[in-house]
Chain A
Amino acid sequence: MSRMTAYSNDVHRYVDGDMSAAEGEAFEQLMVAAPELAAQVELLEKQNAAIRASVEAPDMQLLAQMSRAAREPVVAGLWKVAAVLAILMVGFAGGYGASALSRDQAMTAAVGHASAAHSLYSVEVLHPVEVPASEKEHLDKWLSKRLGSAIQAPSMAGSDYKLIGGRLLPSGQRAAALYMYENTEGTRISLYAERRDGRASQTFEYDSLNGVSGVSWGEGEWTYVLVGGDPEVIKRLAFLVSGELT
Chain B
Amino acid sequence: MVGFSGQLEAALPSLWRYAFSLTRDRSAADDLVQDTVERALRKRLLWTFGRPLKPWLMKILLNLYRNQLRSMGYRATVPLETMPHEQAGEAHSTAASAEKMLELRDVEKQIAQLPPERKEALLLVVVGGLSYKEAAKTLDIPIGTLMSRIARARSDLKAPEGATPKLRRVK
Contacts and interface: CB of A to CB of B under 8 A. Distances in A.
Contact of A40 (B34, B94, B122, B127): B94
Contacts of A210: 48
A78 B44 CA distance: 10
Contacts, number: 142
| Interface SS of B by simple majority | helix
Contacts of A52: 126-127
Interface stretch (B1-9, B68-76, B163-171): B1-9
A74 B127 CA distance: 30
A69 B37 contact: yes
Given A44-B94, A74-B44, A231-B50, A16 B125 contact: yes
B50 A8 contact: no
Interface string B72-100: 00000000000000000001111100100
A4 B158 CA distance: 17
Contacts of A246: none
Given A185-B3, A212-B49, A58 B154 contact: no
B17 A228 contact: no
B5 A63 contact: no
Given A5-B91, A52-B127, A82-B45, A39 B98 contact: yes
Contact of B95 (A40, A51, A54, A228): A40
A63 to B, nearest CB: 4
A172 B11 CA distance: 42
Given A48-B126, A50-B104, A185-B6, A58 B45 contact: no
Interface in B37-52: 37, 40-42, 44-45, 48-51
Contacts of B91: 4-5, 8
Given A67-B8, A70-B41, A43 B95 contact: yes
Contact of B17 (A18, A55, A85, A119): A55
A144 interface: no
B19 to A, nearest CB: 9
A35 to B, nearest CB: 10
B126 A187 contact: no
B44 to A, nearest CB: 6
Contacts of B42: 74
A137 interface: no
Contacts of A11: 94
Contacts of B98: 39, 43
Given A8-B151, A211-B48, 10 more contacts: A8-B91, A47-B104, A50-B107, A52-B127, A55-B127, A70-B4, A185-B3, A186-B5, A186-B6, A187-B2
Interface of B: 1-6, 8-9, 12-13, 16-17, 20-21, 26, 29-30, 33-34, 37, 40-42, 44-45, 48-51, 91-95, 98, 101-102, 104, 107-108, 111, 122-123, 125-127, 131-132, 147, 150-151, 154, 157-158
25 contacts: A8-B151, A9-B151, A11-B94, A16-B132, A40-B94, A40-B95, A44-B94, A48-B126, A51-B127, A55-B17, A58-B13, A59-B26, A63-B16, A66-B12, A66-B33, A70-B4, A70-B5, A70-B40, A78-B45, A185-B5, A186-B2, A186-B3, A211-B48, A211-B50, A229-B50
